[in-house]
Amino acid sequence: MLENYPKEKLQEIYESIPQDLKEALFSQETADTINDICLENNLEEKQISKIIEYVGYVFLGLLSPNDFEKTIKEKLIIKDDLAQKISRQITRLVFLPLKTSLELIHKTEIKLPPGIAEEKLPAEEEFPKEEKISSGKGGKDTYRELIE
């Protein structure tokens, strides 16, 4: 089970994960986000530390993001709706920004909970085309400003 990994093995796994996951694992922003979600959902300190631990296991590739909800429900012995709410919030705010790296290390697609749409940048063809500025004479604009 998850709790049986020796520190040496965890260090070895840590060395092999993408840089963005390494940074997120020790990020104060990540910790604050998880803590805020847990406090908002009235979890106890012991439960919060377990959730942080399980998020770390997701970052290390030891727990699939798709199994996160089930794991916190079973391990923390919390109600289905609370586990779902916490999992949805953590997926949206913590896992989705790292989706590419998480899918790479887990070798699976992260299933988005219903109601959570992945934010995407516009496709390249959706960006406005750059217009070339001409001098009006059909020639090249040769104006140069003196630099002192």
User: Would you say residue 103 lies in a domain?
Assistant: yes
Measured from the Cβ of residue 139, the count of other Cβ atoms closer than 10 Å reads 8
pLDDT of residue 145: 54
pLDDT of residue 78: 95
pLDDT of residue 105: 95
The domain containing residue 79 runs over which residues? Answer: 2-109
User: Would you say residue 14 lies in a domain?
Assistant: yes
Q: What mean pLDDT do residues 84-98 have?
A: 95
Q: Give tens-digit pLDDT for 45-59.
A: 999 999 999 999 999
DSSP letter for 91, please: I
Whether residue 139 has pLDDT greater than 60: no
User: Would you say residue 115 lies in a domain?
Assistant: no
Tokens linked to 53: 């631990």
Q: How many domains does the chain have?
A: 1
pTM of the model: 0.74
